[in-house]
Amino acid sequence: MPASQQDAEGRKHLISLRETVESIWIAIVLAFVLRSFVLEAFVIPTGSMAPRLMGQHWQFECPACGYHYAYGIPRNPEGEAPRLSAAVRQPRGAPAACPSCGHQKGFGREWAYFGDRVLVLKYLYRFRQPAPWDVVVFKNPQDNEQNYIKRLIALPGQQIEIVHGDIFYRDGKDFNGDGVIDEKDFEHERAAVECPLQILRKPAKTQRVMWQVIFDNDYQPDPEIYTSRDGRPWVSPWRKHRGAEAWDLTGEGGRVFRFAGPEEEAELRFVADRRRFCPNYAYNQPSRTPAYDEKTDINSDLNLSFTFTPETPRAEVGLHLSSFSHHFRARLSADGSYRLEHGLDDGDGQIRWEDAPWDSGRREPLLVGHGYQVTLMHVDRRVALWVDGKEVLHSPDRLYRADREQILGAVLRGVPTPMVAILASGGPARLSHVHLMRDVYYTCPTIHDNGHDTRRKGWGTTGNPMVLRKFLHKPDLDEFFVLGDNSPSSKDSRMWGHHADTLHAGYRDGTVPRYNMIGKAFFVYWPGGYRLPLLKGLPIIPNVGRMRLIR
């Protein structure tokens, strides 16, 4: 080969090598730029947002019914998490319990799974305002170093109060013109009229991911394996109440309910220990002193759903939920008509139904033999009927108001166990995929007052509302309020009784200042991984099926 040709080939190799090196450096620079200004990855350290976002945990399949769930791994007394490369021993006296059937599972050592890894949009809030229910990452004000992830609840300029598990708020105004919306403005004579108390409702997409199972009828436990915490044998919570001869609850091993007729209405009721409606989490370690009140913390924000398959054009199905003395009954007929009815129980056990429905409508007649997804939900003081993923009926706000005083009065009179029932009439029908779920219920803990022996109500809890200051001319000092979805086990705004000295002067416990906000968590890019047979100590295979957007 001529020398000139060899030189040309050498120059090509040098150019190719230089381009490769330049590409690598550009990729590195872009990665640093993205990490610094656009995206950053975080590992979730604890289970305060479980079961949607999890810290280090075990993954279990219930031996009795097959339901999959996560169980949080406790940290040692020094606050350290276990090593991923070692099997972790079960805490003494802390068996895992299936969130659906309640079967208790004892275990010895199990492999640990790391916390979910999430991507965070940094500096997003420099371009748009944070919104309630965003999942946010911020510097923990208690040490100003560790990154926390919680759900954003209240914004600067609002007053916040948790009332029987729900969020109530008021939007403030700078009535005295001092450039700050604070407590003085909410004490102003005009505030009572111009800053009314409202309930904070979730967007539909957020609500969808916050439902938690009470009982999934698709997972029927094996009576030979099932063990409850009180030693009782398995009995389905769905019981025949009226028209017993019309119901067959044995289809497909108990997973399908069949209504054979006749025309008269027959009823099934969900009969279970009222503790099923408490804010229990299968993720949490059991405790002799639960972080909620079993008498009052009864969650009536429920979701009852199933697939309705009419087998005659006359078939009709009904769904019944209650909250305190209010009862709600939604009906869907195969002729396409639907209605929402309301009744009151004055304490004598008799429900007095109003003559006129709260809402009604009509759609195309249902096809005989075709399945329709039907859902009745009561959440955030609103009732709605959904058919095939679309809302078709809801309660009018003027008739079913979110009244704080009325709710607190009802709590003082005693919180009844919610009624959950299914009705059928008109002719044969088939019900499958029967699910009962509950919403997140925010508890109202008491906390030690700055290390003293006295205790006080948590920030923003019932009877201790909190005002989040809004600085009209110094927005970096604005205050936010955050809560964890795993409310009984979340150290969040309610609980903070001290803060780091490195925060700006004037910081108040229980708040997240705007200057501590890092960004919005938007994607779980690496859930707890699978383990290879020969490398069980390393969960290096991502669980692709659980990669998801964060709502």
Residues 426, 449, single domain; the answer is no
- The residue range of the domain holding 404 is 212-278+291-438
Task: Report pLDDT for 29.
Answer: 42
Q: What is the CATH number of the domain that holds 372?
A: 2.60.120.560
Task: Report pLDDT for 287.
Answer: 77
In this prediction, residue 249 has a pLDDT band, given cuts at 50, 70 and 90, of very high
Residue 533 located in a structural domain:
no
> What is the average pLDDT across 325-352?
94
Q: Tell me the pairing of strands 266-270 and 446-448.
A: unpaired
In the block, tokens 């339901």 appear at 67
Residues 235, 257, single domain; the answer is yes
Per-residue model confidence as pLDDT tens digits over 316-325: 999 999 999 9
Residue 408 located in a structural domain:
yes
Q: What are phi and psi of 138, to 5 degrees?
A: -150, 165
Residue 495 located in a structural domain:
yes
CA distance 404 to 330: 26
Residues 183, 317, single domain; the answer is no
Residues 367, 323, single domain; the answer is yes
Residues 431, 370, single domain; the answer is yes
In this prediction, residue 10 has a pLDDT band, given cuts at 50, 70 and 90, of low
Per-residue model confidence as pLDDT tens digits over 392-435: 999 999 999 999 999 999 999 999 999 999 999 999 999 999 99
Residues 248, 367, single domain; the answer is yes
Number of domains in the chain: 3
The residue among 203, 151, 213 whose CA lies nearest residue 484 is 151
Domain end call among 507, 527, 544: 507
Domain end call among 390, 412, 438: 438
Residue 92 located in a structural domain:
no
Per-residue model confidence as pLDDT tens digits over 435-478: 999 999 999 998 876 555 678 899 999 999 999 999 999 999 99
Residues 217, 201, single domain; the answer is no
Residues 359, 420, single domain; the answer is yes
CA distance 150 to 130: 13
CA 192 to chain centre: 32
In this prediction, residue 229 has a pLDDT band, given cuts at 50, 70 and 90, of low
Per-residue model confidence as pLDDT tens digits over 250-262: 999 999 999 998 7
CA distance 220 to 216: 8
Task: Report pLDDT for 126.
Answer: 85
Residues 344, 272, single domain; the answer is yes
* CA dihedral angle for residue 218, residue 219, residue 224, residue 229, rounded to 10 degrees: -130
Residue 201 located in a structural domain:
yes
> What is the average pLDDT across 146-169?
97
> What is the average pLDDT across 15-37?
48
Residue 50 located in a structural domain:
no
Residue 76 located in a structural domain:
no
User: Token pair for residue 94?
Assistant: 């802390």
The answer to whether residues 409 and 312 touch, using CB atoms and an 8 Å cutoff, is no
Q: Tell me the pairing of strands 372-378 and 212-216.
A: unpaired
Residues 376, 486, single domain; the answer is no
Residues 473, 428, single domain; the answer is no
In this prediction, residue 31 has a pLDDT band, given cuts at 50, 70 and 90, of very low
Residue 129 located in a structural domain:
no
